[in-house]
Structure 1
Amino acid sequence: MLSKGVGLFPTEPVGAMRDYVHLAESLGYDNVWIGDSQNIWRESSTVLGAAAVGTERIVFGTGVTNAVTRHPSVLASSWATLAEYTGNRVVLGIGTGDSSLRTMGLTPQKLAELEASIAELRELFARNTVTEPESGAGYHLNYLSEPARIPVYIAASAPKILKLSGRIADGVIVLVGTAPEFIEGALRTIEEGAKESGRTLEDLRIVLWTPTAIDTDRTRARDLVRAHVSRVCIRPLPAPIDPDLEAAVNRIRESYDYYHHMDTEAAHADLVPDELVDLFALAGTPEECLKRLRDIESLGVDQVSIVPFVRPGESRAGTIRTFAGLVDQL
């Protein structure tokens, strides 16, 4: 059965974010993923801690963090603490770094650096000592009385990081769109990586991350997700697309502004044609979205995690409720 998750960027005060999380738990959501981009959103670790208070079942993750703005010692300690508080209801979602780095003119990690960071985190969770590369000093989490059991999921879209995810991750947050051919291509690449470590897709959990807007007015729904679609499609694409759409993607790449990352009113959103929305989002009427979910369910994805988009000032609660109802119809 397809599980449901929700990705929440902290664009609203902590109290509102906490309310969304508690609503999601009441509706049977399995995971909540909190965005981490310190220059454009509120502090993710504060949101995670506050939202966890009073919950009993939902699993908390980042969608996603990185090991550059968050030193591995800080990441390991914050997640071990959250795991202790929630009874291990945590998943560390990590990537190479995106808007959290690019808004400061910094470059995301190389894949080898990401792999090394994940290895360090796992050593720290296991109560082992790791070496700080600049100082050469060893350090560990001194307060842990037993190993912290924290799964690590990698956010991936391009082929190389999809393959790396298959090889080393506990799960993959897949950001390749909602078109079946894109998802199938991503799963094949993940499986190639899994084979390198003696595993199969059955050994990993696959989370499909998708911008989402559900409305009886399909045009309004599509308009709301264009900004996120622009971010998805400027990454290396998982499959060939029409040359006209490739030209549109190139125009988006040239104009993307990271300080308007996921902003529904960003100028680069106007460059996204409907054809790209159909490939990279879950957007349209409830009936259209249900049909796409049924297509996705047949592909072997474990979870669809929506990133709900609404007009500025509107609540995301309606989308969270509507999506839960659609999944219940599958």
Structure 2
Amino acid sequence: MKLCANWLPISSELTRQVARRAERAGLWGLGIGDSPHYAELYSACTEALAATERLTVLTSVTNPVTRHLSVHASAARTFRHAGEGRFVLGMGRGDSAVRTFGLAPATVAQLEAALTALRDAVPEQRVLVAASGPRVTDVAGRCADGIIAGAGRDVVALTGLRDAASRARVHSGPFEVWGSVRLAVARHPGEAAELRRRMLPRAISASRFNFSGTFAGKNVPPAMHGILAERYAGYDFAWHGRSGANPVAGLFADRPDIEDYLLDRFAVIGTADECRDQLAALAPVVDGIFLSLLFEDALDQVDLIAELVEDLAGAA
């Protein structure tokens, strides 16, 4: 099972440091997010590739709305040579990167058209697609090399996405299913409660991406559907992806049961041994896992992740 740290480019120097430590820790890859609150995506990919020798660098993920297809194709051509095959393009419909500017995500049809054109322009480029439901998963099965599943740790939902992709697959060659979780490794058991508090808005952000379109096929308790939909309608994208106390963190302050559900589904928090066990449980249904870090503690967290890598790399 491959492991990939997920990072938002706070600065060029930190991006280089995180990339070097991720490689030293034995991680397979480093995913770099596309967000208007942070540095430019492809510049950050350049920094990460230049700072490392073996690490795979991915966009996790970009979209066909805020950048023209020609920009993505040019970047893919550039990194194919400069990165010696260590670059993977992660693409989705667009979420915070587009909504922050009042734009709409690409439709499913627009996403498929963009992926098809990209594969025609740069046929050797590996592409993963961010998918939370069956329609985008179908597109990925036809047009990509894998999906980054937005289902969190829910094995039922992950299995459903894997099966949907298999049914839609029309090309030969490997197709990967990647899980995606928010990860915080505690140095000691007493630190876990504070890490859960800090990670809460990140878990809520992940759940909104996965659940806001539809609950169909996502294995969400029916009793939660109404309040989840109601609160997501008031989601503040200015705070998307940020940790700690903020308006997103308070969306379910009156429903600790929902907070616990979202944390347990979309985050892995605990000591190294506890995190290892939670991640290993996903090995039967995923080929790899994106580990989205507490970005303000990324350097220390990557070092702590190193304790997990050797055991999980052999999990299947």
The aligned runs of 1:83-122 (5 Å cut-off) are 83-122=80-119
Structure 2 unpaired stretches of 5+: 253-257
Deviation of the 1:261 alpha carbon: 0.9
2:287 counterpart (291, 296, 302): 302
**Alignment correspondent of 2:255:** none
Match of residue 173, structure 1, among 138, 141, 148: 148
**Aligned counterpart for 1:324 among listed residues 306, 312, 315:** 306
The alignment partner of 2:53 has SS state of coil
Residue identity opposite 1:5 in structure 2: C
Partner of 1:26: 24
- Aligned partners of 1:22, 1:252: CA distance in 2, in Å? 39
Q: 1:89 offset after TM fit, Å?
A: 1.0
Inter-partner Cα distance in structure 1 for 2:301 and 2:231: 27
Whole-angstrom CA distance in 2 between matches of 1:268 and 1:76: 35
Alpha-carbon deviations, 1:39-63, whole Å to 9, x = none?
A: 2111111111122214211111100
Q: Which residue of 2 aligns with 1:286?
A: 272
1:81 is aligned to 2:78: yes
> How do residues 22-171 of structure 1 correspond to structure 2 at under 5 angstroms?
22-37=20-35, 39-126=36-123, 149-171=124-146
Q: State the secondary structure of the residue aligned to 1:296.
A: coil
Instruction: Give TM-score scaled by structure 1 length.
Output: 0.84
| Aligned with 2:158 (options 171, 179, 183) | 183
CA distance in 2, matches of 1:198, 1:121: 16
Opposite residue 204 of structure 2, the aligned amino acid is S
Q: CA deviation at 1:163?
A: 2.1
Q: What amino acid is the match of 2:233?
A: E
CA contact (8 A) 1:245 1:276 kept: no
Report the counterpart of residue 249 of structure 1 in structure 2.
228
Q: What secondary structure does 1:316 align onto? A: helix
**Amino acid corresponding to residue 302 of structure 2 in structure 1:** I
Tell me the residue number matched to 1:134.
Answer: none
Name the CA shift for 1:24/1:70 in 2 (closer, same or farther; >3 Å).
same
For 1:223 and 1:212, locate their aligned partners in 2 and report how far apart those are by CA, in whole Å: 13
CA–CA distance in structure 2, aligned partners of residues 225 and 191 of structure 1? 33
* Higher alpha-carbon deviation: 67-76 or 286-295: 286-295
Structure 1 residues 224 and 193, CA gap change in structure 2 (3 angstroms) = farther
Identity %: 28
Rg larger in structure = 1
Q: 1:74, 1:329 → 2: CA distance?
A: 39
Partner AA of 2:20 in structure 1: H
Distance 2:17 2:171 in 1: 42
Query: Paired residue for 1:145?
Result: none
Is the contact between residue 233 and residue 249 of structure 1 (CA under 8 Å) also seen in structure 2?
no
Closer, same or farther: CA 317–118 of 1 in aligned 2, 3 Å: same
Q: Normalised by the size of structure 2, how large is the TM-score?
A: 0.88
Q: Is the 8 A contact 1:33 1:63 kept in 2?
A: yes
CA distance in structure 2 between the partners assigned to 1:54 and 1:295 by the alignment: 32
Could you tell me which amino acid in structure 1 is paired with residue 294 of structure 2?
Answer: F
Deviation at 1:289, TM superposition (A): 1.7
CA distance in 2 between counterparts of 1:286 and 1:274 reads: 20
Q: CA deviation at 1:32?
A: 1.0
Question: Given residue 6 of structure 1, which amino acid in structure 2 is its aligned partner?
Answer: A
Q: 1:322 is aligned with what amino acid?
A: L
2:104 is aligned with what amino acid? T
CA apart distance, 1:316: 0.9
Code of the aligned partner of 1:223: R
Say which is worse superposed, 275-284 or 91-100, in terms of deviation: 275-284
**Structure 2 residue identity aligned to 1:328:** E
Which string of whole-angstrom CA distances, capped at 9 and with x for unpartnered residues, describes residues 85-143 of structure 1? 111211111011111110111111111111111111122225xxxxxxxxxxxxxxxxx
- Aligned position for 1:8: 7
Match of 1:210 in 2: 181
Q: CA deviation at 1:21?
A: 0.6
Gaps of 5+ in 1: 127-148
Amino acid in structure 2 at the alignment position of 1:268? V
